[in-house]
Amino acid sequence: MDANTRQVIAFHVGDRSGQSAAALWEKIPAVYQQHAVFYTDHHASYLDVIPSAQHRAISKLARMTNHVEWFNCTLRQRVSRLVRSTLSFSKNLANHIGAIKYFICHYNLTKCAALPE
């Protein structure tokens, strides 16, 4: 998530392994890979993927991940396919990923429209 625009720049659906971290890193646009600073929790998989000069491992007490946590909560609330106890829950991973992509596109478009010029 871009800290200034609050738009989602990349996502990956998977576990928190090094392989998933590498897959997420590959999806991040090159301009961010080269110039951005990435704030993460202290999970070891990020240490192997994100260059140390651009990586800041922080605790929740630093409150630098609030916007990401807020987005995750919004995603769970608005994409009913992710909630197991609803009628719209889907067991197909491709359907989950499609629903997440659709939501992120809509989310980014509304964030872009709300940005001051």
Q: What is the pLDDT of residues 1-25, one digit of tens each?
A: 888 888 999 999 989 899 999 999 9
Q: Which of 93, 117, 102 is nearest to 8 (CA)?
A: 102
Helix (H/G/I), strand (E/B), else coil: 74: helix
Rounded Cα gap, residues 109 and 92, in angstroms? 26
User: What ranges make up the beta strands (E) of 1-117?
Assistant: 38-40, 55-57
User: Cα(first)–Cα(last) distance of the chain, in Å?
Assistant: 20
Note the pTM of the prediction, 2 decimals. 0.79
CB 81 within 8 A of CB 88: yes
**Tokens at 31, concatenated:** 């301009």
Q: Would you place residue 93 in the very low, low, confident or very high pLDDT band (cuts 50, 70, 90)?
A: confident
CB atoms within 10 A of CB 49: 19
pLDDT at 115 over 60: no
